[in-house]
Structure 1
Amino acid sequence: MNFFTFTFPAYRPGLLLVSGMLFLIMVWLTFSAIPPNTNRPFPRSSTTIALADDSTKLYLPDDLEASVWAESPLFFNPTNMDVDARGRIWVTEAVNYRQFANKPETRLDHPNGERIMILEDTNQDGKADKSTVFVEDKDLISPLGIAVIGKQIVVSAAPNLIVYTDENGDDKPDKKEVILTGFGGLDHDHSLHSLVVGPDGRWYFNVGNAGPHLVTDKAGWHLRSGSIYTGGSPHSTKNEASQKSDDGRVWTGGLMLRMNPDGTGLTVLGQNFRNSYETCLDSYGNMWQNDNDDQVATCRTSFLIENGNAGYFSTDGTRYWQADRRPGQDIFTAHWHQDDPGVMPITENTGAGSPTGIARYEGDQLGAAYRGMLLSAEAGRNVIYAYWPQKQGAGFALKRQNLISSLSKDNVNYKWNETGKDARMWFRPSDVTVGTDGALYIADWYDPIVGGHAMHDKKGYGRIYRIAPKARRLVAPPLDLSTIEGQIDALKSPATNVRNTGVSVLRQRGAAAIPAVRQLLTADNPFHRARAVYLLAQLGPEGRRQVETLLKNPDGDTRMVAFRALKAVLTPQQLIPFCGMLASDADPSVRREVAIALRDVPMVDCREALINLVKRFDGQDGWMRVALGTALDGKKAEVFYPELRKLFPEAPGQWPEPMASLAFETHPRAAVSDLIMRANSPAVSKQGRNQALTALAFVQD
């Protein structure tokens, strides 16, 4: 397979307020950031696992063990997984993968369409023993994503995002709705990917670059996006770059999207990916993704800043990176346009590979050392990478480890078009997720190859590994959603979409849920604390007031989460006072979020906040640079340039780094003469002159 196409209850308000003051003092003392991890390598050993088709060793940390939780014929060819509140695993199958290339008579075939399977361990012995077909639908052609959101099962199957609803819990859909349609990439790996519920209750999902994506949300808002990319499928013969959406902006390549659960409010949150297989959100609201490359050993794992441009195509989507490569640029820099304005830093180059599912481990069940771990499945190199994100300026640094692999050493010689003759290299993790029991579940596509749209396994064999601690037995806990205690337990679940089940019912309680939710603000687990902040903001005026007090918390992560939580429930105009208050914050991540929030605020309302943000900019932080570029989007850059010159009155040849960096990032017409002077100044370094020339090349006529 090729997942990424290498071919190109009432409450008493008075009592609440009195007790709340004392409680919030406790919160100030206990709410702190995720403790840093030293990124030390875990001692690893191997576990031999007997399977139906072979005998495989998985190498993993000494304190963890692996077992086959499920395998064919309980399901076939897994592409994506999710977990429900009962701890069951839901799987999308792609048996009819790329029907135009893999003829039905040569492989396992499901003539009535692909299936969504429910797998269950009924006796809690650590192995699935029951398999149920939830739906078999001809509209499902190699679906690449699934999200179980209470009674709703959301399946990503280009061109459609489909919502099946099981009203009575009999594991059969009672209703089917195509909530969005018009995504490119029918039977194509660069198409519509999985959806996840964010901590704010909205739905987040991404698409690959197999456009065009011509989508209208339920409120009538139109997304129009494309690029130069065609091919990889007989259905992908036409595409178009430089299209404008209803927000007046040009969005290019693969996209990160958000919408309300009712299908309204479609919004672009990131662009210009190649084919990010999946994006995960952690409880802080951070977005994480991986992406594959163009056959040149430049895959990436990245923190995705809101409105971030990952830089695969030119800004307008009309050119590949090869056409834009400048003399002296290494391939990685050119591949992701890292020397262009408006492009976010690419956090880590993972080299050659085929990255797939991604998840953040926020639970405690595996042990304290694993809390906060970012997991990235790598099907090409037969491994699950692990990262412990470390704050770096307004972004993050990532350093990977091979956490789980079928090989004892890193497969650095992986080539996308080679068939694995060694069965150990048929371990092809297509997804990784966290169960309600806190164990890791890894879907294995299992095939000799994952490049060039090939699929050599004709049996459709697949399996799911379960990774759990050796020292104790993990069991999926029962969740009683009829009680507030059970709802809080659901909110604390390590399974992403299960915790939203708790959020949904607690939100319905309104202010009556505040006492129970705020107890989590002093929880030991910082992810639980972050979830409580987001939920409090959704519990009416009193909940929002409590979140507002956290904007003055001594911990930067707390202030950042509180600001994001308020941003999710307030209008841009209502958020302006908080932007002004935090524009000079000591934590770069807080200032980053303020800058992003100012994009659609008129200059007259945010001038002072922008000035304060610029005053704190060091000129070297690429994440903060692109955030400030977001704040100065469009005509605001022209209007603000005189303010920049007041702040930095030096001659262009003597500009300090903040001025040079912002002139490069925003490149307004008003800066042309200054940029020409700087490009010609012998006092400026070669790198500085190149930066000025690049900025001139991006000035709009």
Structure 2
Amino acid sequence: MSNLNRCGVFISILIIGSFTISSCKQKDEKSLIHYDELSDQEKRLPQNAMASMNVAKNLKMNLFSSEPTITNPTNMAIDANGRIWICEGRNYRNFRNPKNPYEKKGDRIMILEDTNQDGVADTSKVFYQGEDINSALGILVLGNKVIVSVSPNIFVFTDEDGDDVPDSKEIMFSGIAGINHDHGAHAFIFGPDGRLYFNYGNEAKHLLSKEGDTILDIHGQKIKNSGRPYWEGMVFRSELDGSNVEVLGHNFRNPYELAIDSYGGLWQSDNDDDGNRGVRINFLMEYGNYGFRDKITGAGWQKRRAGWSDSIPKRHWHQNDPGTVPNLLQTGSGSPCGMIVYEGDMLPGKFKNQLIHAEPGHNVVRSYIIENNGAGHKAHIENIITSKDNWFRPDDVAVAPDGSLFISDWYDGGVGGHMADDVARGRVYRLSTMDNYIPYKLELSTAEGAAKNLISPNMDVFYQSWQKLHSMGELVEPYLSELIKKDGIAKARALWLGAKIPSKCLKYIDMALSDKDPKFRMQGIRMAKYVAIDKLTDFIVKVVNDSSAQVRREAAIALKYIGTKDAARLWADLAVQHQAGDRWELEALGIGADIYSDLYFGAWKNKVGDNWHNQAGKDIVWRVNAEATVPLLIKLIKDKNISPDIIPSYFRAFHFKTHPKKNQLLLSLLTLNHPHRKLIQTYAVGELDEAFVKNSSVYTRSVKKILPHIEGTPEWLRAIKNLKVKGQEKALFQLTISDTDIEIRKEAAAMLFDVGGSNYVTEYFRSNGSDLSKLQLMDVLGGVGQGTAIDFLEKCLLENKFSTSLMRKVVESLGNTGNGQAKLYDLLVNGMIKDEYKITAVLKLMTSRNDEIRKSAPNYLAPIGENSIDILALEQKEGDADTGKLVYNTYCASCHVADGAGIDFGPGLSDIGNKLSKSFLYSSIVYPSAGINFGYEGYNIKLKDGSALMGYIIGRSENTITLKMMGASIKEISLKDIENMEEMDKSLMPEGLDRVMEEKDLINLVAYLETLKIQE
């Protein structure tokens, strides 16, 4: 939308009237407005916002504030006076988007206030504005302190005199991700234990002090993304001044905001790789690994492993791996944002003490209703607010002192993805049961007032009350006693305060551990870990045989860093109570044993003796990484009654275990006489270390002898590649044309051309086979970059003997690699590509890393129109989705999957109609480099042998990177073979499609993309 059009919107807003509208009046207006009859522009007007909303029963919702007062709110806090603090993201990634002008003064932190108690903001002020807070993604107000999360820094603003102007600004942490990156720092929250909790996403490589030094956690480990021991996104806890940082969980992709309950339970969401429908909600078991990457190597989730799920959402988080905490809930696609545990009284009872979550990807505010499930939890979704307006992008939720819920709304055609389509809009809503918004009177002058306010659902009221009571020392105890009598969150918060009294901490821990409610007993373990670490085992003794699996879960986790014989005996006592199949309990035991696994496992094995061979014992052998588990796991595999379904999982466990004779033990399985002999041999070969096999001719012969029996499996492919086994051309070709996984077929095809087996492919295309089978093979060849493969494709193109559809696929395949693009461009320049294939050729060449090729290729097509698109005008036109699907197949299917069709290279589009509005779809097509999805940044890689590769990185380890290239082929590259690696400043998606696509095709394409919606 042009600046002129934006001004027109604002003028119409001003003409229609101000926004001091009561919720009653808005309800009347909603009944008069028929949302479906409004034009697209009318739907965008704030006065029509409520007409699009559906709100849960017995709740009232009103528009609290909107543009032009605020724009692009990213995160929100509510102070003790009920004022709403907003971080704006007007400058979010707009250096890439030519449509959006840069605000030179920088982004703002706004304070909104309702002074006349009608539930609508009538005053606003700027607390701070500057380029140093551009696109801040977190804000926490604690008294006169304001903590702002804005990568790469965490700022602490202090307003000493209460005039709403900061008197100082200091850096608490630095070095978090790049500037203006939404996979970096997120919001801080204040915990009931008096500490700060926060997280960051997987672009944050480390956590640095304000001086730039890498911070060590409380266990002396560097907080950095190196796998030693931490990976990717992390969750932290620290004291209020940022000292004593503790890593509470790691290996997330991009968690947005933590939520904490009064007992110390932690929850958060996490975003999948875009398009894989793997968005998840996590309950945080402290010190857990959450499985975004391989825990040992750091390999991405797409790298093949034994026992992975056929379900990509489950595969995405390594849920089959021992050592990965299970997900609470997977919610499909989405863009998960702000989350709270609602502990107020205003909302209906079913939402109390439950998670409330802003999900802008699906235009919804949800509650996750939690139930206990063994040692863990399960949850189901209850929608609170939904909207017909796909510009409704709720990105944060916060609780006011009166218990009402506020929702910030990014309000845009899309959300995140490194792009904002519209920077002039933004909203805040209030959800309540009362029309009036009564100011809260914070009473801290007396202990009675502080005790009353301690149970507030508002974080700032709670914080200030907590500080007042904490400062009283032992004198606070009479007030704590009264709070404890009230039970619930009052009791939980009082117990935390009691534990912070040095002379009384043991008393309050005992009180919690003796409570009849397991929530308090869990809290007691958490309290002991914090304030009585030297007596922790004494407290664990009290609950080691607790009737609650959840209490035993916390006890097991608490043993992680102790490592004494007493701790080992306690761990063994907990392990013998494990209920087979309870993955939460099993992972808690694993977390507790990970550092001292030999000691703890040995204590358990001594306790159970030979009676370990039950399902619960098998679970423990599978999960715990003690050396002694390796021969036991071999014994389980040799059991002739073993179910074939469990065999891959058992072999996967070897990946995480060490033993001096592990390879010899695996090798012994190759000659095993067993009902599932082939299956066992297949996986045994796959888990053998390459160096072990190659260092012995005897071992090599043993493996080669097995290869014919496991032919066609991924493990066979890996073995013949690593051992350079000759004479496998025919078998490789058969695997290439099989109906197995396409990634295996591509790997087989690459090896086939490597070993000189191209004649098999040539003969196949000369045969009278069906076009369909040849098209499927050409899809496979599109990911092969060997010179012989490219020569073959060039010959096919020149001979032009295939059907039109197959010839287009030849062109597509040739254009998937850098060397192939060079050939294709030469053919185009020399007039050797027929007209009917030119669009396909040009589209591929427009993705080239070579500037000349990329910019010149469109000149070989007749110009369609000017290189200028009026998106606002296009929005008003209706397209035909059925025709658009054909356009999609021409322009998009070679790089994207939609509705089960296409090549899985770029982000999946099967749910793009839910995620992006019509205008955002147009912007994404016309300006692809304005918003490059995180994880899809292109890289040019030059190898030392002179070859070049282009694609995006899907996995990193200490010694390798894994690159996904055009055609969706995946290649693991040793870092020692790389001469230069450079990130591209352009999207891998071609720019300038408007130069090669007719307007009607663009309109029809967008009409089709709008229909791509997965119903969750």
Range class of TM-score, shorter chain: 0.7 to 0.9
Q: Which residue of 2 aligns with 1:52?
A: 46
The superposition leaves residues 228-287 of structure 1 with CA deviations (integer Å, 9 ceiling, x where unpaired) of: xxxxxxxxxxxxx43x3xxxxx11011001111122101100111110111111111111
Q: Which residue of 1 aligns with 2:873?
A: none
Structure 1 residue 131 and structure 2 residue 94: aligned? no
Q: Which residue of 1 aligns with 2:504?
A: 542
The superposition leaves residues 109-163 of structure 1 with CA deviations (integer Å, 9 ceiling, x where unpaired) of: 4212221111111121111111111111221121100011111100001111110
Distance between the aligned counterparts of 1:120 and 1:302, measured in 2? 34
Q: CA deviation at 1:466?
A: 0.3
Q: CA deviation at 1:321?
A: 0.6
Structure 1 residue 692 and structure 2 residue 692: aligned? no
Distance between the aligned counterparts of 1:586 and 1:151, measured in 2? 44
Partner of residue 588 from structure 2, selected from 627, 633, 641: 627
Q: CA deviation at 1:473?
A: 4.6
Report the CA distance shift for 1:451/1:65 in structure 2 as closer, same or farther (over 3 A).
same
Q: Which residue of 2 aligns with 1:529?
A: 491
Q: CA deviation at 1:451?
A: 5.2
Report the CA distance shift for 1:622/1:496 in structure 2 as closer, same or farther (over 3 A).
farther
Distance between the aligned counterparts of 2:597 and 2:450, measured in 1? 47
Report the CA distance shift for 1:317/1:355 in structure 2 as closer, same or farther (over 3 A).
farther
Letter in 2 for 1:448: G
Structure 1 residue 649 and structure 2 residue 629: aligned? no
Letter in 2 for 1:465: Y
Q: CA deviation at 1:108?
A: 5.1
Q: What is the 5 A alignment of 1:53-92?
A: 54-55=48-49, 56-92=51-87
Distance between the aligned counterparts of 1:664 and 1:185, measured in 2? 39
Task: Name the Cα RMSD after superposition.
Answer: 2.2
Structure 1 residue 95 and structure 2 residue 90: aligned? yes
**CA contact 2:294–2:300 (8 Å) conserved in 1:** yes
Structure 1 residue 611 and structure 2 residue 572: aligned? yes
Q: Which residue of 1 aligns with 2:406?
A: 441
Q: Which residue of 1 aligns with 2:477?
A: 514
Letter in 1 for 2:208: V
In structure 1, runs of 5+ residues without a counterpart are 1-44, 228-240, 245-249, 408-423
Structure 1 residue 351 and structure 2 residue 332: aligned? yes
Q: Which residue of 1 aligns with 2:291?
A: 311
Distance between the aligned counterparts of 1:615 and 1:448, measured in 2? 54
Q: Which residue of 1 aligns with 2:597?
A: 637
**CA contact 1:270–1:307 (8 Å) conserved in 2:** yes
**CA contact 2:569–2:600 (8 Å) conserved in 1:** no
Stretches of 4+ aligned residues off by more than 6 angstroms: 217-220
**CA contact 1:209–1:226 (8 Å) conserved in 2:** no
Q: Which residue of 1 aligns with 2:345?
A: 364
TM superposition score normalised by structure 2: 0.58
Q: Which moved more, 1:46-55 or 1:120-129?
A: 46-55
Q: Which residue of 1 aligns with 2:426?
A: 462
Distance between the aligned counterparts of 1:483 and 1:102, measured in 2? 54
Q: Which moved more, 1:154-163 or 1:689-698?
A: 689-698
**CA contact 2:72–2:423 (8 Å) conserved in 1:** no
Q: Which residue of 2 aligns with 1:280?
A: 259
Q: What is the 5 A alignment of 1:202-213?
A: 202-213=195-206
Letter in 1 for 2:295: T
**CA contact 1:356–1:378 (8 Å) conserved in 2:** yes
Secondary structure of the corresponding residue to residue 194 of structure 1: coil
Q: What is the 5 A alignment of 1:533-612?
A: 533-542=495-504, 544-570=506-532, 572-612=533-573
Q: CA deviation at 1:567?
A: 2.5
Distance between the aligned counterparts of 1:372 and 1:175, measured in 2? 36
Letter in 1 for 2:482: Q
Distance between the aligned counterparts of 1:324 and 1:270, measured in 2? 25
Q: CA deviation at 1:540?
A: 3.5
Distance between the aligned counterparts of 2:494 and 2:450, measured in 1? 12
Partner of residue 280 from structure 2, selected from 291, 300, 310: 300
Distance between the aligned counterparts of 2:30 and 2:537, measured in 1? 55
Secondary structure of the corresponding residue to residue 395 of structure 2: strand
**CA contact 1:376–1:386 (8 Å) conserved in 2:** yes
Q: Which moved more, 1:683-692 or 1:615-624?
A: 683-692
Q: CA deviation at 1:215?
A: 2.0
Q: CA deviation at 1:53?
A: 6.7
**CA contact 1:95–1:108 (8 Å) conserved in 2:** no
Distance between the aligned counterparts of 2:89 and 2:234, measured in 1? 23
Letter in 1 for 2:557: I
Q: CA deviation at 1:317?
A: 5.9
Q: Which residue of 2 aligns with 1:493?
A: 456
Q: CA deviation at 1:700?
A: 3.5
Distance between the aligned counterparts of 1:425 and 1:220, measured in 2? 42
Letter in 1 for 2:241: D
Report the CA distance shift for 1:46/1:638 in structure 2 as closer, same or farther (over 3 A).
farther
**CA contact 1:393–1:588 (8 Å) conserved in 2:** yes
Q: Which residue of 2 aligns with 1:31?
A: none
Q: Which residue of 2 aligns with 1:260?
A: 239
**CA contact 2:118–2:436 (8 Å) conserved in 1:** no
Distance between the aligned counterparts of 2:254 and 2:429, measured in 1? 25
Report the CA distance shift for 1:122/1:260 in structure 2 as closer, same or farther (over 3 A).
same
Structure 1 residue 425 and structure 2 residue 390: aligned? yes
Distance between the aligned counterparts of 1:551 and 1:603, measured in 2? 22
Q: Which moved more, 1:640-649 or 1:56-65?
A: 640-649
Q: Which moved more, 1:66-75 or 1:190-199?
A: 66-75
Task: Please state which structure has a larger fraction of its residues in strand.
Answer: 1
Q: Which residue of 2 aligns with 1:336?
A: 317
Report the CA distance shift for 1:643/1:384 in structure 2 as closer, same or farther (over 3 A).
same
Q: Which moved more, 1:666-675 or 1:270-279?
A: 666-675
**CA contact 2:94–2:102 (8 Å) conserved in 1:** no
Distance between the aligned counterparts of 2:656 and 2:204, measured in 1? 25
Q: CA deviation at 1:107?
A: 2.5
Secondary structure of the corresponding residue to residue 679 of structure 1: helix
Aligned residues: 613
Q: Which residue of 2 aligns with 1:270?
A: 249
TM superposition score normalised by structure 1: 0.84
Structure 1 residue 195 and structure 2 residue 155: aligned? no
Structure 1 residue 381 and structure 2 residue 339: aligned? no
Q: Which has the higher contact order (CA 8 A, sep 6+)?
A: 1
Q: CA deviation at 1:545?
A: 1.0
Distance between the aligned counterparts of 2:29 and 2:571, measured in 1? 54
Q: Which residue of 2 aligns with 1:251?
A: 230
Secondary structure of the corresponding residue to residue 472 of structure 2: helix
